[in-house]
Structure 1
Amino acid sequence: MRMTKLMLLAFLALFLVQFQTNAQQKITIYTVGDSTVKNGRGDGTGGLWGWGDYIGQFLDSTKVRIENHALGGTSTRTYQNLGLWDAVYKKLKKGDYVLIQWGHNDDGPLNDTIRARGTIKGISDKSEKIVNMITKKEEVVHTYGWYLRKVVKEAKEKGAIPIVMSPIPRNKWKDGKLPRNNTSYGLWAKQIADQEKVTFIDLNDRMASKLEKFGEANVTGTYFYKKDHTHPSAKGAVMAATSIIEGLKVSTNPLKNYILENPVIKLPRKTNLFLIGDSTMAENNNENAVGWGVMAPRYFDTTRVNIVNKARGGRSSRTFDFEGLWEKTKSEIQPNDFVIIQFGHNDAGKIDSEKFRGSINGIGDETQQVNRADSLMETVHTYGWYLKKFIRETREKGATPIVMSLTPRNEWPNGKVEQRSTTYVKWAQEVATEEKVDYIDLSDKVAQKYQVLGQEAVKAFFPKDHTHTGRAGANAVAETAAEQLRGLKKLKISDLVLGKKEMEELPPLELVK
């Protein structure tokens, strides 16, 4: 037995040594640059990515590995002043590669109290002595080309292979064309690459030519967002990486030998936002009873989120569970998804007759045995009990539950919009507090808007009855729900909602099918 254990330990040690040896033998590809190479933490916040996050998917990961050392907001100057290049330089070994791309931020002021990141234009040895208004220290500022050349030369000193790129194009169109930077930073990057005899890839022109084939209308919202003309989406970042790979293929650079023949590119999985509730949220196939969930996609970045409307007309928290609708929904939930829970309109029904959809008032553990018309015995729980079940089982799936109160009805006692603030609104909030989940009092937020619009204007939102909205009413509720979700800054869902300005620029409702 002891000999067997010793043999196992010896085998494990040998495996670890071999693993470490293989890891050391891998060539490292370092990427250095600004936010168009790595945006933020490289996690797609705001839907924005850098090409350095995807370039590795085109290369043989058994032979090379990627280290993305780019940092948003940096120029050739500040990247080095902050010691970021020194950190890469110390790690470089012979045969490694350094992919280099700057230029977007080098055009800023040489000296100011905000960033002081600009460089002198061109590639000459011209310099300017300043007292940096941020650091309060003397600094000699050089040209863009001087800083770029320094990185290239120092990479070569270590036996590494630098590859220089022109900056990606900005999504700013003029007469159906994207402006090139071949008279500024793209030109200067090429000049340095030529003088230092290293590979240059005109990423700017390669990517711009691809985008122009699609046209501005198809590019904005797919490869770039309207809110940001500089930082690409995941698809835009992949296009930039593809352009680099294409440039490598026609070069003599040895990195081309590690390009996969048929790479499988994986874009980030879309986040699912599940909606569970009743007809005030559901898709009801009735223009006079449109649930707000039908209009919800209008207010989200649907390139990154799927709105999965599982709400069903006529259901209460009880029947949504009893009929297996929750179980079916739960089977589709994945980690990092979101579930919005909103019930109450039908929970006030009868518990033991007719539609058998009423739940017990409150949020306690009381139960009632009901002999249904189909001779099945059912244990009925409180409204709050069902909400807690949905919340807890959502969390078990690794997803995030959000509780919303029910929507207000078109009833105006004493000139005020009716709200069930002492029953279902109150109980939903109590459940959310007890379970420590985010809560949105949609009833109150929508009611506030109704009060401003006035009773006559709101009447048009309810063409069928006092509970169900038409298309315009559903849109007003969906917009309010999205605004409140955007306010949940601690949750990723807030990042998936359109910004205030983007909402204001949405096409009129009558133009939307």
Structure 2
Amino acid sequence: MKLISFFLLSCLLAFGPQKATGKPTVYTIGDSTVKNGQGDGSGGLWGWGDPLVQFFDTSRIQVENHALGGTSSRTFRTKGLWQPVLERLQPGDYLLIQFGHNDAGAINDDFRARGTIKGVGDEAEEIDNLLTGEREVVHSYGWYLRQYINEAKAKGAIPVVMSPIPRNNWKDGRVPRNDESYGLWAEEVAIGERVEFIKLNDKMASAMEKLGEAQVTGNLFFPHDHTHTSAKGAVLAASLIVEGLRESENCPLKDYLLEHPIINFPAKKKVLLIGDSTVAGGNGEIVGWGRELPDFFDTSRVEIINKARGGRSSRTFLYEGLWKELVPQLGKGDFVLIQFGHNDGGNIDKAKYRGSLPGTGDEMQEVTREDGSKETVHTYGWYMKKYISDVQAKGAIPIVVSMIPRNRWKEGKVERASDSYGKWANEVAEETGAFFIDLNEAVAAEYETMGAEAVSTFFPGDHTHTNGAGAQLNAMILSQQIARIKECPLRGAVSHRIQSQ
């Protein structure tokens, strides 16, 4: 059977499968460790419910991920998320249940009000919900699990309960289990209701311990988040659920598993960078922000390719054929970050022949080069529009970036390019529909916060070129700016730690 990509499957399943096929359906319900965000890997985070589909023979069974981040066993019901699933359940369907990460929260507050009473008993607490303003009877974690199980059974579906995946917390080389709390209670409910139970918490904690903390952190989990898994972590959790199904004696869901599943990670999109030495990788003490940019992105989702070249302007990057080499590499949905300006103010008709005409208009000037050849020189804006047009023609997404500021100060303020290349870059982006990031302004504002003396340490040789620390700061600020553009698809690949700032 031909398997399609992890990302495409997630997108397709978001619209829900069609019952007209007559195939049984596996429904998953739970929190963000089952489905993070929209299930598209935003910020590099995935729930195990997304890759799970790739372990099944989808010619015979369907998989729908209905989990939602932030929910508990209680609020998945009270938010109305359970009812649509219940209504769609049919005899022979399956329901995979994992809650617990959010059940320990406050029972009543004006922020989330999602906690449940600890344990599996019949205790109840009547509250006036500060968040919803409604009267509500809150039950135990076990009580809510039993409701899902019994209501699914009443529809002829087959429930499977699993303990919550472990958090990436370590103590003396071991990952703490939840076998005295939600893992234990989930198992007690499953045994009491005679449904299949998978010790996912213990299975995954054991697998993490075999790898060791150094291999888990930054690989299965990101260093800044001990709860939500990366794509690799989500696949591990899904594979352990599959292992638990195979070990089961009475759960027919295992009959739909593929013998040799092929797990496809999301296809990486290219992020090409073009520009001058302030973007290029550089060497020694001189470093462009393009070298540091991958540190702020989930590189399991995007491949950042730095094609910037020192000494180039918007004119010479095109004239020398550098752009012509790159265009064939672009595919639909890729990105191109474009930053020029530092060298565009150079000589137009003398060596180094890299200056462009000012502005964004259609003015032209014919230049005779030293070898006698003729060149028609255009405005800065004309060249920028050329790059944007070519990118858009390939179905890729252009992002225009104003040039980083030089280390020039006047009366305590950093000199901007807001009356020249920064302004023209913005005008071009607006005219063409490209995204625009005013990096010149954002970095200048940060420099002013730091002060001239601190900023001077970023410029070891001149007022234009940064060292590694300066490039790191510029790359971080650029990433923050990308993350703030809600309409830009690239924001989803920005590291979660940047998005949360």
Structure 1, residues 252-293: CA drift from partner, whole Å, max 9, x if none? 2211111111111111233433211011211233x1432222
Structure 1, residues 332-389: CA drift from partner, whole Å, max 9, x if none? 2333333221112222233344233222222111223344455554332211101011
Given that 2:224 and 2:497 are in contact with CA atoms closer than 8 Å, whether structure 1 keeps it comes out as no
Partner SS state of residue 32, structure 1: strand
Cα distance in structure 1, aligned partners of 2:477 and 2:189: 53
Which of 115, 118, 121 matches 2:115? Answer: 118
Given that 2:153 and 2:159 are in contact with CA atoms closer than 8 Å, whether structure 1 keeps it comes out as yes
Q: 1:62 to 1:424 in 2, by over 3 A?
A: same
Equivalent in the alignment of 1:488? 485
Q: 1:116 to 1:283 in 2, by over 3 A?
A: closer
Equivalent in the alignment of 1:248? 245
Cα distance in structure 2, aligned partners of 1:280 and 1:21: 52
Code of the residue aligned with 2:331 in structure 1: it is: Q
Equivalent in the alignment of 1:6? none
Equivalent in the alignment of 1:44? 41
Q: 1:381 to 1:59 in 2, by over 3 A?
A: same
The correspondence of residues 228-267 of structure 1 with structure 2, limited to 5 A, is: 228-252=225-249, 253-267=251-265
Cα distance in structure 2, aligned partners of 1:488 and 1:171: 30
Cα distance in structure 1, aligned partners of 2:142 and 2:106: 17
Partner SS state of residue 52, structure 1: coil
Cα distance in structure 2, aligned partners of 1:439 and 1:102: 41
Given that 1:227 and 1:502 are in contact with CA atoms closer than 8 Å, whether structure 2 keeps it comes out as no
Equivalent in the alignment of 1:141? 138
Q: CA deviation at 1:320?
A: 0.9
The correspondence of residues 284-433 of structure 1 with structure 2, limited to 5 A, is: 284-285=282-283, 287-373=284-370, 376-412=373-409, 417-433=414-430
Q: 1:413 to 1:157 in 2, by over 3 A?
A: closer
Q: Where in structure 1 are there 5+ consecutive unaligned residues?
A: 1-19, 505-513
Q: CA deviation at 1:117?
A: 2.4
Cα distance in structure 2, aligned partners of 1:452 and 1:118: 42
Equivalent in the alignment of 1:181? 178
Equivalent in the alignment of 1:102? 99
Cα distance in structure 2, aligned partners of 1:387 and 1:371: 23
Q: CA deviation at 1:224?
A: 1.6
Equivalent in the alignment of 1:272? 270
Q: CA deviation at 1:493?
A: 3.5
> Which piece of structure 1 moves more, 60-69 or 374-383?
374-383
Q: 1:91 to 1:384 in 2, by over 3 A?
A: same
Q: CA deviation at 1:413?
A: 6.3
Q: 1:52 to 1:109 in 2, by over 3 A?
A: same
Code of the residue aligned with 2:271 in structure 1: it is: L
Cα distance in structure 2, aligned partners of 1:259 and 1:366: 65
Cα distance in structure 2, aligned partners of 1:53 and 1:21: 18
Code of the residue aligned with 1:341 in structure 2: it is: I
Of the two structures, which has the highest relative contact order with CA contacts closer than 8 Å and spacing of 6 or more? 2
1:79 corresponds to 2:79: no
Q: CA deviation at 1:498?
A: 4.5
1:202 corresponds to 2:210: no
Equivalent in the alignment of 1:437? 434
TM-score, normalised on structure 1? 0.86
Cα distance in structure 2, aligned partners of 1:401 and 1:127: 56
Code of the residue aligned with 2:341 in structure 1: it is: G
1:129 corresponds to 2:126: yes
Equivalent in the alignment of 1:61? 58
Percent sequence identity over aligned pairs = 57
Q: CA deviation at 1:398?
A: 2.9
Given that 1:279 and 1:312 are in contact with CA atoms closer than 8 Å, whether structure 2 keeps it comes out as yes
1:470 corresponds to 2:467: yes
Q: CA deviation at 1:415?
A: 7.0
Q: CA deviation at 1:21?
A: 10
Equivalent in the alignment of 2:279? 281
Partner SS state of residue 194, structure 1: helix
> Which piece of structure 1 moves more, 415-424 or 218-227?
415-424
Q: 1:44 to 1:416 in 2, by over 3 A?
A: closer
Aligned residue pairs, count: 484
Q: 1:108 to 1:330 in 2, by over 3 A?
A: same
Q: CA deviation at 1:296?
A: 2.4
Q: 1:470 to 1:392 in 2, by over 3 A?
A: same
The alignment yields a C-alpha RMSD, in angstroms, of 2.8
Cα distance in structure 2, aligned partners of 1:440 and 1:136: 42
Given that 2:166 and 2:201 are in contact with CA atoms closer than 8 Å, whether structure 1 keeps it comes out as yes
Q: CA deviation at 1:420?
A: 4.4
Q: CA deviation at 1:414?
A: 7.0
Equivalent in the alignment of 1:12? none
Q: 1:141 to 1:487 in 2, by over 3 A?
A: closer
Structure 1, residues 447-477: CA drift from partner, whole Å, max 9, x if none? 4444555555544433333433333333343
> Which piece of structure 1 moves more, 237-246 or 400-409?
400-409
Code of the residue aligned with 2:190 in structure 1: it is: A
Given that 2:110 and 2:131 are in contact with CA atoms closer than 8 Å, whether structure 1 keeps it comes out as yes
Q: CA deviation at 1:43?
A: 1.8
> Which piece of structure 1 moves more, 245-254 or 414-423?
414-423
